[in-house]
Structure 1
Amino acid sequence: MTQDFDAFHAALAAHDDVAINPSGNRSLDRMVDAGRRNVLKGGLAMAALGFFGGGISACRAVADDGLLGFKGVPQQFDAKFDKVIVADGYSATPFFSWGDAVLADAPAFKGDASETWEDQLKQAGDNHDGMHFFPFPDAPNDHGLLVINHEYINPTLHSAGIVFVEGKRKAEDVKKEQAAHGVSVIEVKKDGDGHWQRVAGSRYNRRISTLTPMQLTGPLAGHAAMKTASDPSGLEVIGTLNNCSMGVTPWGTYLACEENWHNYFINRDPADYAQRVSHKRYGIAKEGVSKNYGWETADARFDATPYRDQPHDGHVQEPNRFGWVVEIDPFDPTSKPKKRTAVGRFCRECSTLSLGKDGRMAYYYGDDTKGEYIYKFVPSGRFDAANPKAARDLLDEGTLYVARFDDDGKGQWLALVHGQNGLTAENGFASQAEVLLNARAAGDILGATPMDRPEWVAAHPETREVYVTLTNNDDRGSKKPVNAANPRPHNLHGQILRWNEAGGDPTATTFQWEIFLLAGEPQGAKDDKGQAVPANLIGTINGDAFSSPDGLAFDPAGRLWIETDFDDIEPAMARIGCNQLLCADPKTREVRRFLVGPRGCELTGITFTPDGRSMWVNIQHPGISYPASDGKSRPRSTTVLITKNDGGVIGS
């Protein structure tokens, strides 16, 4: 049996978007019906004033004359569209694609996917996602390390696609897939003509994968829940996977985030599954094969069924070792990645830093599943810029919080602390380790607000105002009722929220929030039959229409960049065209379309040089033949370099 590209991505979408949250949490005891009706009408006046009238004072550092200095590009509806278009005056150049050499002895990409798993360990992985540019201090805008996540793999990784033989996978194919997951670190530098180049043979160049040993740290290091037959110490995990978005630390390390890790495991024991919260609440498979690739048919550690004749129940606890933040030192290629367990376990999209002037900080996370929660972690210690080495283990101690969004525009961060607010042994949490291991279930008990697929978080570089993308949720209204923060039933297009922490303090436990915009079609939009588009598909965008905001980042000047991820086969999304990169002015809320990607792709991952004159974005899973764009070549996920033709600042 072989899976083709379109069928594979349809299957991924089907199970990645399944709502799992059984709690029925409803943060709003009394809905503000009039306010919700106004939002559903798509009124721009409501968006401009803020959901509850006065709004939040947005990004006071933004210049009054606006930030968007480029002309927007049009939507693309051609079913054969197979290139990247960018705003006039800019260039978009393929820079680093799946199969490109990372290590000095890597073979050149063959084009037919005939490379072995050993070859793949030396080459760029598949499905580029979150990334960050780490500058060298002596030339911060001309020289640095580019660190890139490889979230998952496409069937195009193999010459024959994903093949099952009598229900099982070949071990060599599984190893190649595991090698194509993870992270790439590459040195990049401008040449004598000012053009960016990858530095071949750099001592910094490195591949981290699902085959790389990693250290467990924090409260669950060595804990009984982390011990397996292959690691009875509970201290070392082999590999990371499904690294979607990311984060950085002020001490110069990279944070890879493990998102839909649950789709790689299976537990076929119905009785065990029913009582094992660490499996059931995260939705790992319970029959057939695991939801993504059937790795367990060739690699026993992905079979989390409890076989009683094995020590530590075999690998029943292997899923507990995924769903964490992985800290990587890009400047030390000999360093061992560390899974930081104090920050909690869920399907984490990002790890976004907000750093206060006094060194106190918070990290924000979206749990990328329909009906799940938004979290933040506040380290106990402070960052001291004069002694960055002292910060190396700050992520091993602190407090994890989950968000409640109330109907009056106020919000509360609820502490996930053992012994408080019902997080007790009587409710299934014997210690803080169990709270962190089962953070979703702990959030259920505290009454956190179920959200419309929380994804990337971005914090304004000056004001520390925080934004989050809620990509979409077609289950909203059936499994989870609408509420003020998630006001649309059958929400196909998603929204962006923003909030200010009390006193501008990232460690505060209260905040003020509002809806920045509802994505979707403009007022008066018609469908293909000339009928008015339903109200739940109408947005409040001041500018260019888009659907399903996902990637989100501020550039150094305070522009908010928005990347989209939607299935353009869905009729409502097809009217938006191909996925795109947009830019928003946080003060005026104006949105302009800056770039459109090839058919079938997701726009994801974004990073800048400190001067804002170079930008990289990722084209994930293009559907035809990009970057060759010849209609014949195997498509390759690709990091694209964006520059302004006059050498100016991107977006100006």
Structure 2
Amino acid sequence: MLTRRALLASGAAAVAAPAFAQSIVSDVADVSQPVMLDDRIARGYRRDVLIRWGDRVAFDAPAWNPNVPTPEGAATQFGWDARVVAILRPPPAADNVPRLILAATHARVDPAMAFPSLRPMPAVEQGMVGASVINLMWAGGRWVVVDGGFQARRITATTLCRFAGPAAGHARLRTAEDPAGRAARGVLRAEGGCATPWGTLLLAEGDATAELAAWRGGVANETNRFGWLVEVNPLDPTSVPVKHTALGRFAKDDVTVARAADGRPVVYLSEARRDGFLYRFVAARAPDGEGAEANTTLLDEGQLAVARVENAMLRWRPLPATPDALIDTRAAAEAAGATPFDAPAGLAAHPDGRLFLACRGNPQRDGRTDALNPRAVNSFGHVVEITPANGDPAAETASGAVLILGGDPRQPGATARYGAGTQVWLAAPAVLEVDPRGRLLIGTAQGALQRTTGIADGIYLCGTAPGAQRGVLNLLYAAPRAARIGGVRLSPDAETLFSAVRTPGAEDEADFTRPATRWPAFEPAVPPRSTVIAIARAAGGAIGG
């Protein structure tokens, strides 16, 4: 049943920004204040609110009270941090109403911003992290959240998971709680994710060392049980998430799936480090149909490799499939001569086989450069385009090129070009999506860099085909102050763009009592809230035309 809460949260009537109908061009042209307390949307588009921090996900979630956080509430409500990672279409229902499943990750909690005490609350924090799976339906000309939807679930730091693949059961995964080394408690530091062609959800775990130390103490081998790729069946809310050891353990930022010429899945993974590597896993076989149940072991066998840049060519160097090498994947990649990228982050696979990689930037690079990391000091990031040999993502080699170098176009070194009226510029590209026309949607996440640039994070549309529009950026959406863009995902018809406005108001010297903005509600007693938004053209049609 669609409740009043879902209807209110779905549209502008609930918590729409006052600048809802304004044009980004006219707003951002005022360069004296490009970072605003409010968000802004391009002329001819609307922005709807779907779900916010504290809104209920599980059917039995209590009402949100930010002043009295509880572990029970946190484990059933939408998390403090958010990144939209996947949109899936469930099997059609008898009523023929269009439906979608949206998945979002919750990577972290900042106690100073999340709690009125400004102090850590470990039990509450463990419920706030992980992931949310949410049901959407089409109603009243827009997508709305179905309150208590069948597939709705929260995955937290205490959710039971299991290990699969070559390292499952290895001694370095065993703990007193799990002497067999085949079960894990929780999904931690999940950042990126994607949907698979066989209908499952992949979540990329990052480095959870700090959380484990704060929440669970010095449990032997506990850190080895995180940093994996986690697979979830989003259609079955009782399914047990699977941590696939064949894809290696390292601090992951994002994941995307392509298809080899012979049909085998090719999984790309980026490493969440300032000097992170780019990895690739080629499964040993093609999917057996499109269902999740028929492909539960698909990612248990295959070849993991790491990218090495050789002039303008990228070569995939295979990594050992031994349990020790898979548990210490970073060390194995270094031994294979992997090339570090400048904070590799978002990934997007083009239907023609190309791969796009967003690099947020590395101002502390050691001075060594290469064709895909051309700046000795890379403060603003760039986007890389990788074209596999013969168009086959499973090929041993690929050619590479920099599509865009971020930074102020008025300064030397930046290569990005901008559409008419766009007064801001690209800094810290972090999340990517390819639309049906082959254009790239880019979301930025500057963090503390925003104090230097003075520009808002936003979502840009960028041409990738040869011609006059290649590399030209047009700003579609600008986030409020101190908010980052958490994921960009299109609906199957490409007429709705889903994203998360991530941790608004969270900047240095801000806290729960003094946030940098109170978006989206702008109520004195309500803290700012990470919010999933839906962007659509007011007159209908595909995003970007």
The bucket for the TM-score relative to the shorter chain is 0.7 to 0.9
Asked if 2 retains the 8 angstrom alpha-carbon contact of 1:135 and 1:141, the reply is no
Per-residue displacement from partner, 1:460-480 (whole Å, max 9, x unpaired)?
12x1211101111011135xx
Please list every run of 5 or more consecutive structure 2 residues that lacks an aligned counterpart in the other structure: 1-22, 506-516
Q: Distance in 2 between the 1:87 and 1:196 partners?
A: 19
Instruction: Decide which of 155, 165, 171 is 1:224's aligned counterpart.
Output: 171
2:392 is the counterpart of 1:437: no
Written as runs of structure 1 = structure 2, the 5 A alignment for 1:428-577 is 432-461=322-351, 463-477=352-366, 481-523=368-410, 525=411, 535=412, 538-543=413-418, 545-567=425-447, 572-574=452-454, 577=455
Q: Distance in 1 between the 2:199 and 2:67 partners?
A: 35
CA displacement at 1:104 relative to structure 2: 1.6
SS in 1 for 2:254: coil
CA displacement at 1:248 relative to structure 2: 1.9
Q: Distance in 2 between the 1:72 and 1:153 partners?
A: 34
Report the TM-score, using the length of structure 1 for normalisation. Answer: 0.73
Per-residue displacement from partner, 1:184-241 (whole Å, max 9, x unpaired)?
11111012x2232211122211111001110111111111010012111101110011
* CA 79–569 in structure 1, closer or farther in 2 if over 3 Å, else same: farther
Q: Distance in 2 between the 1:93 and 1:583 partners?
A: 19
* CA 141–372 in structure 1, closer or farther in 2 if over 3 Å, else same: farther
Asked if 2 retains the 8 angstrom alpha-carbon contact of 1:73 and 1:86, the reply is no
> Which residue of structure 2 aligns with residue 403 of structure 1?
307
Q: Distance in 1 between the 2:448 and 2:183 partners?
A: 41
SS in 2 for 1:162: coil
* Higher RCO (CA 8 Å, separation ≥ 6 residues): 1
> Which residue of structure 2 aligns with residue 56 of structure 1?
none
CA displacement at 1:80 relative to structure 2: 7.0
* CA 389–240 in structure 1, closer or farther in 2 if over 3 Å, else same: closer
SS in 2 for 1:440: helix
2:243 is the counterpart of 1:350: no
- Number of matched residues? 498
* CA 515–647 in structure 1, closer or farther in 2 if over 3 Å, else same: same
Report the TM-score, using the length of structure 2 for normalisation. Answer: 0.87
> Which residue of structure 2 aligns with residue 412 of structure 1?
315
* CA 648–453 in structure 1, closer or farther in 2 if over 3 Å, else same: same
2:98 is the counterpart of 1:146: no
CA displacement at 1:572 relative to structure 2: 4.0
* CA 264–465 in structure 1, closer or farther in 2 if over 3 Å, else same: same
SS in 1 for 2:330: helix
Structure 1 residue identity aligned to 2:456 = C
Written as runs of structure 1 = structure 2, the 5 A alignment for 1:245-256 is 245-256=192-203
Say which is worse superposed, 376-385 or 618-627, in terms of deviation.
Answer: 376-385
Asked if 1 retains the 8 angstrom alpha-carbon contact of 2:233 and 2:292, the reply is no
> Which residue of structure 2 aligns with residue 392 of structure 1?
296
* CA 485–244 in structure 1, closer or farther in 2 if over 3 Å, else same: same
RMSD between superposed Cα atoms in Å: 2.0
SS in 1 for 2:103: strand
* CA 490–181 in structure 1, closer or farther in 2 if over 3 Å, else same: same
> Which residue of structure 2 aligns with residue 625 of structure 1?
518
Structure 2 residue identity aligned to 1:442 = A
2:213 is the counterpart of 1:316: no
* CA 412–79 in structure 1, closer or farther in 2 if over 3 Å, else same: closer
* CA 388–347 in structure 1, closer or farther in 2 if over 3 Å, else same: closer
> Which residue of structure 1 aligns with residue 53 of structure 2?
98
CA displacement at 1:388 relative to structure 2: 6.0
Per-residue displacement from partner, 1:357-377 (whole Å, max 9, x unpaired)?
532221111101111210011
Instruction: Decide which of 110, 118, 124 is 2:78's aligned counterpart.
Output: 124
Asked if 2 retains the 8 angstrom alpha-carbon contact of 1:563 and 1:580, the reply is yes
Q: Distance in 2 between the 1:344 and 1:494 partners?
A: 26
> Which residue of structure 2 aligns with residue 263 of structure 1?
210
Q: Distance in 2 between the 1:349 and 1:251 partners?
A: 22
Q: Distance in 2 between the 1:593 and 1:439 partners?
A: 38
CA displacement at 1:569 relative to structure 2: 5.3
Asked if 1 retains the 8 angstrom alpha-carbon contact of 2:64 and 2:73, the reply is no
Per-residue displacement from partner, 1:133-165 (whole Å, max 9, x unpaired)?
1113437993111111111113232221224xx
Asked if 1 retains the 8 angstrom alpha-carbon contact of 2:450 and 2:482, the reply is no
* CA 318–81 in structure 1, closer or farther in 2 if over 3 Å, else same: same
Per-residue displacement from partner, 1:607-638 (whole Å, max 9, x unpaired)?
12111111211111100111113465201111
* CA 521–115 in structure 1, closer or farther in 2 if over 3 Å, else same: same
Asked if 1 retains the 8 angstrom alpha-carbon contact of 2:341 and 2:359, the reply is yes
Written as runs of structure 1 = structure 2, the 5 A alignment for 1:263-282 is 263-266=210-213
SS in 2 for 1:474: coil
> Which residue of structure 2 aligns with residue 159 of structure 1?
116
Q: Distance in 2 between the 1:453 and 1:317 partners?
A: 27
CA displacement at 1:387 relative to structure 2: 6.7
Say which is worse superposed, 206-215 or 558-567, in terms of deviation.
Answer: 558-567
> Which residue of structure 2 aligns with residue 82 of structure 1?
37
> Structure 1 vs Structure 2: percent identity of aligned residues?
31
* CA 348–201 in structure 1, closer or farther in 2 if over 3 Å, else same: same
SS in 2 for 1:351: strand
2:534 is the counterpart of 1:580: no
CA displacement at 1:451 relative to structure 2: 1.1
CA displacement at 1:330 relative to structure 2: 0.7
SS in 2 for 1:503: helix
Structure ranking higher in strand proportion: 2
Please list every run of 5 or more consecutive structure 1 residues that lacks an aligned counterpart in the other structure: 1-69, 164-172, 267-293, 304-314, 419-431, 526-534
Say which is worse superposed, 72-81 or 623-632, in terms of deviation.
Answer: 72-81
Instruction: Decide which of 123, 129, 132 is 1:181's aligned counterpart.
Output: 129
* CA 344–72 in structure 1, closer or farther in 2 if over 3 Å, else same: farther
Per-residue displacement from partner, 1:509-560 (whole Å, max 9, x unpaired)?
111111111110113x4xxxxxxxxx4xx41002152111100111233220
CA displacement at 1:391 relative to structure 2: 2.0
> Which residue of structure 1 aligns with residue 509 of structure 2?
none
CA displacement at 1:100 relative to structure 2: 0.2
Per-residue displacement from partner, 1:330-382 (whole Å, max 9, x unpaired)?
10011101111100011111120111453222111110111121001111011
Written as runs of structure 1 = structure 2, the 5 A alignment for 1:303-382 is 303=218, 315-356=219-260, 358-382=262-286
> Which residue of structure 2 aligns with residue 638 of structure 1?
531
CA displacement at 1:87 relative to structure 2: 0.8
Structure 2 residue identity aligned to 1:162 = R
